[in-house]
Amino acid sequence: MSAQSAVAPPPGTRLVGAVGVGAGRSLQSAQSRSAGHVIAQFAHPVLALPDGSSMRTSCNWCLLPQVDHHATTTTLRSCAGCSAAVYCRRACQRLHWREAHKYECEALGRVRARAGKDWLPTPVRAAVQLLLREQAGDAAVRAAFGPHGLLSANRDAFRLCTSVWSDMGLQAVAALSYGALSTTAEMLERARDVLCKLQTNAFHRQDADTGASSVFVDPALAMVNHSCVPNAFVGFEGRTATLRALRQLHDGEEITISYIDYTLPRSRRRIALQLYHFQCMCSRCKHDKNVYDVCRDLALPSPLTFTLAPTPCPEPSQLEMETLYETWLAADSLKQRWEICEPLVRSGLCAIEPVPTTVLAMATEAIRSASYVQGLVLYCFLSVRCDPVRYAISAPSRAEALFAVAKLMSEIGPSLTSANGAEICPHPGIWACLRSCDPASICETLLGLVLRWGCQGAPESIVAGARAMLQDLEALPGRAHESHLVRAWAADPCHGEGAAFVRLTVLGPMERLSDFAADLIRTVVDEQGPAALLDDVALIVGFRGSKSWIPPL
């Protein structure tokens, strides 16, 4: 039996192609699917474990963090054997023992005895576990990670990167030592091969609410190839990965996801993809298209649909996009970074990096400092000027920004009848716009969008928060007519009284507020210190990507 036949593709998909032939292997859709619909679920990964020291603060089986998005604390109990792996309940401990922990338990005990630590770096622990499971005859591990297994290793490409290859050598020695395995040259190469396959095929998942992170490997999911114009995305819940359509998928169409941030300039995308040892040849890369070009190619619907997308997309100017981005990365102050962004904003190219990342960093800081009006203006800018061009409506990022607008509007709403407007918002234009808004209708519309699309990949805290806020809104008296119009728009976004109502009451105010963003940012930048927010920008840039590059030892 071949390795490819040993790993069956999930229902509704086909595994096609072969290693070294054309584009290699890929996963196809075996039926048509609409945007947001589930393509496949992967509930039985070969490997799923918390990252590094997170193994002490997350259940080592179901990956439940000790503190969840509700700030509820779960008592985690340590394994009596190694005192390293922890579990939220006995059932999880039994399941993990049966599948994997009975092989690694003694190895983790050796770590405590030799190094005085109660955890291992992720690559080393993963290699220990996989090598010991393979040695014990685990069929799933052999089919995926064995010498003739399904997963690609890219050994020759890794060998060309001296520092990475050296790190893998150290990781291989550590894995064999802690696993009490032979350290012959043959076993060292075997351990390196496993590490190469991990680096190439593992998904890194991070919980946006709790910060908990983990590594996930499923051989069939690893067959999903990359594109900078993806038609699908992966979301995680516990030990299950869900592959969903970003846009309409047709029977026989290849399913693709993005391993990186596909909105970056081509030069930066190529640098990021060096970690995967291939050069993307999608239409975005081949013709060096920016986000507006791709938006036009995909023919996003009109503003009155669920996209809230401005149209028509502006024509790209001849600005040196990539030079601007590199200059922005090298800038050492927020003021310098915004001055680099301003030509793009003036040209109507608000969705091109580094504008969205800079605005998102400032919006995040505004919320942190309780500057809610500032945060609202900036999130409106992201929601109507940036995100609709960059992402499909079913992308989780869209739901996160729309929820932020609704949340901020609900915070500000009760103050709009105050006579002390200058204290709440010193900008008269913004205050006048806010006073003319219908906060409840804006919130109801946006929360409906979040629940329609956000539950397909957005953080659970956002989905749960949207449900709770919508319930509160529905209990408000005297809003029957407005709610009827919002529901009518949801049923038929392009026509009728509901569409006109949402255009006037929701999208119009959001667009007007977004028009104040550039002036507001200039004021904030002039008032703040020269190094303000650089850490936040770096953080946002640093946590992008959907497929993992496991850090070296």
Buried b (16+ CB within 10 A) or exposed e, 448-465: bbbbbbbbbbbbbbbbeb
Residue 241 pairs in a beta bridge with: 42, 236
Q: Yes or no: say if 86 and 55 are a contact pair by the CB < 8 Å rule.
A: yes
CA–CA separation, 238 vs 207, rounded Å?
10
Could you say which of 140, 157, 187 is where a domain stops? 187
Q: Is residue 532 part of a domain?
A: yes
**Segments forming the whole domain that contains residue 351:** 301-542
Q: Is residue 111 part of a domain?
A: yes
Q: Yes or no: say if 201 and 130 are a contact pair by the CB < 8 Å rule.
A: no
Q: Supply the pLDDT for residue 322.
A: 83
Shared domain for 319 and 453, answered yes or no, is yes
φ, ψ for residue 119 (rounded to 5)? -155, 160
Q: Yes or no: say if 47 and 130 are a contact pair by the CB < 8 Å rule.
A: yes
Long-range CB pairs of 21-26, under 8 A, 24+ apart, other chains included: 23/225, 24/152, 24/225, 25/223, 26/223, 26/224, 26/225, 26/254, 26/255
Q: Yes or no: say if 188 and 173 are a contact pair by the CB < 8 Å rule.
A: yes
Between the alpha carbon of residue 338 and those of residues 315, 321, 462, 485, 534, the distances in Å are 22, 15, 29, 40, 11
What 8-state DSSP symbol labels residue 438?
A: -
Q: Is residue 406 part of a domain?
A: yes
Segment holding 269, helix H or strand E: helix 266-273
Q: Is residue 197 part of a domain?
A: no
Rg of the chain taking only CA atoms, in angstroms: 25
Would you state the torsion angle of the CA atoms of residues 99, 100, 106, 108, taken in this order, to the nearest 10 degrees? -140
Long-range CB pairs of 498-501, under 8 A, 24+ apart, other chains included: 499/304, 501/441
Largest CA distance in the chain: 79
Residue 215 pairs in a beta bridge with: 49, 204
Residue 386 three-state SS: helix
213-217 β-sheet, strand order: 47-50, 213-217, 203-206
Could you say which of 164, 187, 210 is where a domain stops? 187
Angle between helices 185-201 and 162-178 (to 10 degrees): 110
Residue 166 pairs in a beta bridge with: none
| Domains contained in the chain, number | 2
- Cβ-proximal residues to 277 (8 Å cutoff; 6+ apart), any chain: 154, 157, 158, 200
Q: Yes or no: say if 39 and 249 are a contact pair by the CB < 8 Å rule.
A: yes
Q: Yes or no: say if 140 and 130 are a contact pair by the CB < 8 Å rule.
A: no
Q: Supply the pLDDT for residue 301.
A: 55
Q: Is residue 26 part of a domain?
A: no
Segment holding 15, helix H or strand E: strand 13-18
Low-confidence ranges of the chain (pLDDT < 70): 1-7, 20, 22-23, 69-71, 207-211, 300-319, 419, 421-422, 455-457, 529-553
Angle between helices 321-330 and 334-346 (to 10 degrees): 160
Our separate counts of H helices and E strands in the chain read 26, 12
Q: Is residue 40 part of a domain?
A: no
Structure tokens at 324: 């601007």
Q: Is residue 277 part of a domain?
A: no
Between the alpha carbon of residue 42 and those of residues 217, 226, 460, the distances in Å are 10, 18, 19
Shared domain for 182 and 326, answered yes or no, is no
Could you say which of 128, 160, 187 is where a domain stops? 187
CA–CA separation, 354 vs 493, rounded Å?
32
Residue 156 three-state SS: helix
Q: Is residue 273 part of a domain?
A: no
